[in-house]
Amino acid sequence: MGRTHSLSATHRLVWAALMAALIAVGAYFQFPLGPVPFSMQPFFVFLAGFVLGPRLGALSACLYLAAGLVGLPVFAGGAAGLGYALGPTGGFMPGFAAAAFLCGLSVKAPGKGPSSWLSGMSYGIAGLALMYAMGVARLVMVVPSLSVAGGIAAMSGFAALDVVKLAGAVAAARLLARSGVSPS
């Protein structure tokens, strides 16, 4: 019995590492839009929460952040290091963990996906809002000429696309849950 539990825990940690790797892959699918690049990272952040639940979803985002902080080129555009994390986009990275955690709250059990579309989208939008708040807070700290209103306006161009990514993550998590390809 102890062995089964250990394998299950190992299985879930492997999934957390896989999701961290996918967040990193999402960083390479990016193009600059001013000081904040547009990337596919939010899709994988949301997916991590929806697939793994709040704790392991947030852990995935933290593993991603740790990998970048120790020098692996996992941040947007292949960047790495503390200097990048303290730059204009630095607030988004801890925001990823917060967003994954909130998305995970829509999940009844890891591997089961959001309990409903409405639940997934609602928690996801809350996570997206928190991620934006953390990102904008850091952005206006680093770019002195940018006001909070300016930071919010800069992010408004991302909102519609990020909601599309969120809907895609809800759909993907529900599909993974139905197909049985998920941690459980």
CATH of the domain at 100: 1.10.1760.20
The kind and range of the H/E element at 61 are: helix 41-69
Residue 20 resides in a domain: yes
Q: What is the pLDDT of residue 44?
A: 98
Instruction: Give the pLDDT score at 6.
Output: 54
Give the H or E element holding residue 145. Answer: none
pLDDT of 35: 62
Does the residue 184 lie in any domain? no
Q: Is position 11 within any domain?
A: yes
C-alpha distance from residue 1 to each of 5, 7, 8, 110 (Å): 7, 10, 11, 20
On whether residue 38 sits in a domain, the answer given is yes
Predicted TM-score of the model (pTM): 0.91
Q: Give the dihedral of Cα atoms 156, 160, 166, 172; nearest 10 deg.
A: -150
Burial (CB count within 10 angstroms: exposed 0-12, middle 13-18, buried 19+), residue 161:
middle
Q: What token pair was written down for 152?
A: 């919010």
Q: What integer pLDDT is reported at residue 1 of this predicted model?
A: 44
| 100, 107 Cβ separation under 8 angstroms | no
For the chain, how many structural domains are there in total?
1
> Residue 39: which H helix or E strand, with range?
strand 36-39
Token digits for 120?
A: 């997934």
pLDDT of residue 34: 67
pLDDT score recorded for residue 123 = 98
pLDDT at residue 45 in the model: 98
Q: Which residues of the chain have pLDDT under 70?
A: 1-7, 34-36, 184
Residue 124 forms part of a structural domain: yes
Max distance between CA atoms of the chain, in angstroms, equals: 60
Distance CA(84)–CA(148), nearest Å, equals 21
Q: Quick one: pLDDT at residue 4?
A: 47
- Give the domain extent around 156: 2-179
Tell me, yes or no, whether 130 lies in a domain.
Answer: yes
